[in-house]
Each structure stands twice: as C-alpha cells, then as structure tokens.
C-alpha cells in the first residue's frame, strides 16, 4: 500500500484528520481537488466572512459610535475594493498556514479529484495528470455546497450564493436574502453596515430557527436597528432576473403575493453534502435520501476501511464539528477510545451582537417534557457592556429543576462566540448552575452575565438586577 491513511478533502475536518493521523504515526496523504487547501471554511466560508464582518463593523462604528466615544473624524468612506483585498489576504495567510502544517507533519498533498476504483484504490485526476494510489484506510471529508430551490436559477452574477457574496465588485443597493439562517444574516450584516438595504425572506416564523427562540427574537431586534427588513413566514415562489434587477416573489402568511426588487439576491437556504466524483457506487458506500454518507456511531461507512466526517455526514454543518470528528476517527484507527458529545458542540452566529448556543434549547426541553428552570441576565445591566456601548443582548441559562445541572446556555451579545467555550467546559463536567455562581468572575467582564444568569437560575437571586 502507498499510504496507511488517505483523506479526501482538505477542509477543517479533512486537514485536521490528516494531521492527527500523521501525529499518531500513520503514513498519510490528503487529496484536494482545488489548488488551495482549507476547503469551504478557509477559502469561501468561515474565514473570509469573518474578515468582512470585522471590516464592516469597524466602518459601522466609525460612522455611528465614534462621536459618542469622543472621536471626531471626517465622514468615513468605504473602500470596498480594499475591504475585499484584505479579506483575500486573510484567506491566503490561513491557507498558507495549512500548507505549512502538511509539510511539518510529512503529509503528502495530492491535487485532483479523488475517485474510488475499489475500497483500497483511489484514482486522483487533475487537469495535468491522473495517478492511482492505494491506501489501507480512507477518510471521506468532501464537505458541502450551497443548496438552492428547483425553480431558482443561480446565475452567480445577480442571483448568488455565499461564495459570490464574498467576491462582489460593488456594494449592493438592495440585497434580497432568501433564508434567515446563519450564513444569510452574517453576509446581510456585512452589507447592511456599509450601506445596502437588506431584506430577508424566511419560510419559518423566526430567524435562526434551529437555535433557541429567544435568541432569534433578540437578534431580529438588533438587526432591525441596522435597517434589516424581515418577511417571516413567507414562501418564495419565483425569482426572476432582468438586466441588473432581480425580482423575488413570495407568498405571505395570508396567501397574498409579495414582490421585492433588488440588484442582488442571495440564496441562503442551507447547504447539501458534496459527493460528486467520489465514485461511491464503485465500492458500494451507502448514501441517504438527503445525500449524506451513512455512518455508524464510530463514523464508519458500511465498507470496513472507509470512514466519513463533517458536512458530508449527519449532524450540524460546522467546521469545529468536522474537526472533532477528524480527530475522533484518527484516534480510533490508532486503537484509542475517544468520544464526542454532539449535544455539546456549540453553534455561533457572527453578527453583532454575536449569538452562541450550546446544549438544549427551551423548545427542545419542552418537547422532551423535561422540568427545567430559566435564568436570564441582560447585557445592559453589565458595567463592561455599558463601557463598550454593547448593551444589546442577554444570557439565558437552562438548568434541571431538580438537580440544577446546566442543560443549555444561550448568549446574544458582544463576544458571545468566545464566551460560549466556558459554558461548554461547565457542561462537559456536568456542572450545576450553582457551581458556576461559586466561581469568581473577573469584573468588569461580559462573562459576569453568565454568572448572573446562573444566579437567576439557581434561586432567582442575581446580584446586579
């Protein structure tokens, strides 16, 4: 065999799996069809979107809060070309970092589309050449691509996906977003801050529908302040493009037609597993009706030497979930017994305020018939939030009514994405709400809101409210 472990796909799941396999002593290769490593996340997902979110938030603050902070400047202007260029530079630095890690760990990088000939043989085909390799074990980590609706034609110029939204040559005058989930709201935030009118059409009755309902309501209030228009409970029925104008028609909750006209339409209704060209049929790997590769509790497919991880299998499509699975599979191959608690993989929305959640939502606990307590604490009661003018938001803690064990933590506010790690830590160690209240939290910090929410959940005794 040429390799002991071969990974197909170099996104966060794939490259982390390859690194861990190499660390554990396996002779490892990674196959990537694009010239750059890092997959969707590093090239056209998490990293570039965060770069644009940060740049646009700086501009928004210069325009809206500097004066109150005592900073007088001339009216700021958006240099959109430079904003996109900086984003591209951030992507390059990260991608170069992955290439360095491959060399450091002696992982062979094979460029091209990897396709199974049989369970141990993979054909790697690029524009330049075709080569065949053999491998004892294989990890599929080919990720996902944007989903669309059958009647929507993605021309990638006016009717676009998140990929094109990161490379626009101009700031949209009116961006119509189909879908009120994480990706649409993040990219909508970028453009709303720098001058676009943004309209969100969502089929469900609330935005970020997979998260705790309170978070969606609070985020909607904040985004409305940015100028977002929301059309919830609306079903998109038609998208038409004429020249530079896109018309989106949606059915309202009353059954009437709503017509929105914009210069760009972002289709952001989720993502679907990507398995094109893998040749799964050649080895008989089972795929579900939803296009997901079927795996067992150990992430192994029905073929004994092939595993699959990340967006291409069941579960949340999150970079850090894929990373955990990559490590999980590599360590199993080495005879270790790792674990993943899928309930404790946090979800984050990088709007401002940020939203971050881990554990059960209030809705899930009600569906389970679980008896629970709720503790809430608003950011506006925090000295740190007042000092930074980030008073939008709250922390919501859900705890077992009898044992006081923390069952869910949901945060909307400044730095929620970083704060959620402390909740994951507490829940991994089965902490009670009271356990958290007994720990000293530095003052003044945003984290005090977590302690206060736990105090509210324990016996309704927050100190600062």
Q: Mention every residue, 6+ apart, whose C-beta is less than 8 A from residue 292.
A: 273, 312, 313, 314
Backbone angles phi, psi at 457, to 5 degrees: -75, -35
Query: Would you call 87 helix, strand, or coil by DSSP?
Result: helix
Helix (H) or strand (E) holding 85: helix 80-104
Please check whether residues 234 and 168 belong to one and the same domain. yes
82: domain CATH number?
3.50.50.60
Model pLDDT for residues 38-63, shown as the tens digit of each residue: 999 999 999 999 999 999 999 999 99
Q: How far apart are CA 287 and CA 463, in angstroms?
A: 53
Euclidean distance between the first and the last CA atom of the chain, given in angstroms as a whole number: 66
- Look at residue 303 and tell me whether its pLDDT is greater than 90: yes
Residues 139 and 211 in one domain: no
Please report the pLDDT score of residue 464 as a whole number.
Answer: 84
Mean pLDDT of 376-399: 97
Best CA proximity match to 261, nearest among 243, 246, 239, 241: 246
Helix (H, G, I), strand (E, B) or coil at 8: strand
Domain closes at, from 250, 269, 288: 269
Give the model confidence (pLDDT) of 141-183 as tens digits: 999 999 999 999 999 999 999 999 999 999 999 999 999 999 9
Mean local confidence (pLDDT), 202-221: 97
CATH of the domain at 437: 3.30.390.30
Classify each residue of 100-120 as buried b or exposed e, where b means 16 or more C-beta atoms within 10 Å of its C-beta: ebbeeeebbbbbbbbbbeebb
What pLDDT does 271 receive?
97
CA of 66: how far to CAs of 69, 74, 174, 365, in Å?
5, 11, 26, 43
Decide: 152 and 319 in contact? Cβ < 8 Å: no
Tell me, what's the pLDDT at 217? 98
| Claim to verify: residue 265 and residue 139 sit in the same structural domain | no
Residue 464 lies in a domain: no
Q: How far apart are CA 58 and CA 68, in angstroms?
A: 15
Residues 189 and 77 in one domain: no
3-class DSSP string for 195-206: CCEEEEEECCCC
CA angle 422, 428, 434 (to 5 degrees): 65
Catalytic residue, chosen from 58, 69, 298, 443, is 443
For this structure, is 443 an active site residue? yes
Considering only CA atoms, which of 32, 54, 46, 146 is closest in space to residue 94? 46
- Pairing, β 245-251 against β 113-118: unpaired
The model's confidence at residue 19, banded by pLDDT at 50, 70 and 90, is very high
Asked if 84 and 170 sit in the same domain, the reply is no
Do 276 and 265 fall within a single domain? no
pLDDT grade for 427, boundaries at 50, 70 and 90: very high
Q: Which of 1, 43, 6 is nearest to 22 (CA)?
A: 6
Q: Is residue 328 part of a domain?
A: yes
pLDDT in tens, 444-456: 999 999 999 999 9
Is 115 contained in some domain? yes
Q: Contact, 28 vs 329, CB < 8 A?
A: no
Structural domains in the chain (count):
3
Domain boundary among 269, 291, 306: 269
Whether residue 348 lies inside any domain: the answer is no
Q: Which domain holds residue 415?
A: 353-459
Residue 165 lies in a domain: yes
Pairing of strands 108-111, 28-32: parallel
Same domain, 439 and 388: yes
Q: Using an 8 Å Cβ cutoff, are 312 and 140 in contact?
A: yes
pTM for the structure as a whole? 0.96
Q: Are residues 191 and 257 in the same domain?
A: yes
Instruction: Say which residues have a Cβ less than 8 Å from residue 207's Cβ, sequence separation at least 6.
Output: 180, 181, 185, 200, 216, 219, 220, 223, 230, 232
- Chain mean pLDDT for the chain: 97
Closest CA to 299 of 326, 263, 274: 326
Q: Are residues 225 and 306 in the same domain?
A: no
428-442 confidence digits (pLDDT tens)? 999 999 999 999 999
Asked if residue 318 and residue 280 are part of one domain, the reply reads yes
User: Distance (Å, rounded) from C-alpha 327 to C-alpha 340?
Assistant: 10
Q: How far is CA 275 from the centre of its chain?
A: 20
pLDDT tens track for 8-18:
999 999 999 99
Residue that terminates a domain, selected from 222, 248, 269: 269
CB-side neighbour CA atoms (13 Å) of 192: 21
Residue found by looking up tokens 């059915």 in the block? 251
Kindly state whether residues 279 and 265 are assigned to the same domain.
no
Cα dihedral 441, 442, 443, 447 sign:
negative
- Residues 6 or more apart from 11 whose CB is under 8 A from it? 38, 39, 40, 41, 42, 141, 143, 310, 311, 319, 322
Find the radius of gyration of the CA atoms of the chain: 23
pLDDT at 465 over 80: no
For residues 341-370, average pLDDT: 98
Please check whether residue 398 lies inside any domain of the structure. yes
Angle at CA 301, nearest 5°, toward 111 and 27? 45
Q: Give a yes or no: residue 151 inside a domain.
A: no
**pLDDT tens by residue, 239-274:** 999 999 999 999 999 999 999 999 999 999 999 999
- Residues 13 and 65 occupy one common structural domain: yes
Helices 182-193, 46-64: inter-axial angle, 10-degree rounding: 40
Q: Is residue 347 part of a domain?
A: no
């Amino acid at each position: 065999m040429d390799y002991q472990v071969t990974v197909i796909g170099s996104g966060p799941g794939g490259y982390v799996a390859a690194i861990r396999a190499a660390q554990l002593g396996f002779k490892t290769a990674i196959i990537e069809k694009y010239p750059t490593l890092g997959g969707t996340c590093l090239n056209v997902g998490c990293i570039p979107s965060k770069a644009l979110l940060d740049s646009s938030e700086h501009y928004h603050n210069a325009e809206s809060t500097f004066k109150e902070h005592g900073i007088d400047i001339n009216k700021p202007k958006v240099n959109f070309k430079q904003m996109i260029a900086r984003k591209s530079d951030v992507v390059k630095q990260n991608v170069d970092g992955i290439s360095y890690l491959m060399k450091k760990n002696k992982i062979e990088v094979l460029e091209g589309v990897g396709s199974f000939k049989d369970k141990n043989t993979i054909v790697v085909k690029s524009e330049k050449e075709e080569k065949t390799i053999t491998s004892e074990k294989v990890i599929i980590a080919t990720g996902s691509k944007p989903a669309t609706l059958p009647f929507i034609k993605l021309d990638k110029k006016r009717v676009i996906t998140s990929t094109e939204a990161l490379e626009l040559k101009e700031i949209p005058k009116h961006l119509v977003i189909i879908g009120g989930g994480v990706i649409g709201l993040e990219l909508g935030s970028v453009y709303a801050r720098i001058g676009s009118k943004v309209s969100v059409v969502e089929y469900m009755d609330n935005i970020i529908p997979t998260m705790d309902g309170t978070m969606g309501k609070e985020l909607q209030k904040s985004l409305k302040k940015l100028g977002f228009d929301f059309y919830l409970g609306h079903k998109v029925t038609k998208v038409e493009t004429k020249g530079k104008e896109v018309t989106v028609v949606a059915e309202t909750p009353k059954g009437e037609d709503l017509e929105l006209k914009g210069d760009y339409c972002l289709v952001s209704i989720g993502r679907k597993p990507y398995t094109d060209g893998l040749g799964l049929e050649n080895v008989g790997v089972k795929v579900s009706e939803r296009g997901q590769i079927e795996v067992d509790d150990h992430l192994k497919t029905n073929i004994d030497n092939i595993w699959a991880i990340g967006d291409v299998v069941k579960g949340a499509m999150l970079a850090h979930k894929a990373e955990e699975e990559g490590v999980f599979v590599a360590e199993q191959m080495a005879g270790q017994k790792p674990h993943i608690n899928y309930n404790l993989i946090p979800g984050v929305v990088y709007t401002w305020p940020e939203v971050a959640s881990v554990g059960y939502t209030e809705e899930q606990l009600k569906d389970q018939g679980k008896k629970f307590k709720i503790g809430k604490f608003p950011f506006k009661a925090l000295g740190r939030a007042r000092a930074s003018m980030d008073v939008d938001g709250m922390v919501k803690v859900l705890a077992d009514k009898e044992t006081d064990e923390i069952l869910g933590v949901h945060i909307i506010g400044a730095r929620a994405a970083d704060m959620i790690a402390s909740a994951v830590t507490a829940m991994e160690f089965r902490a009670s709400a009271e356990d958290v209240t007994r720990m000293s939290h530095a003052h003044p910090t945003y984290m005090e809101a977590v302690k206060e929410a736990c105090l509210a959940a324990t016996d309704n005794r927050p100190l600062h409210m």
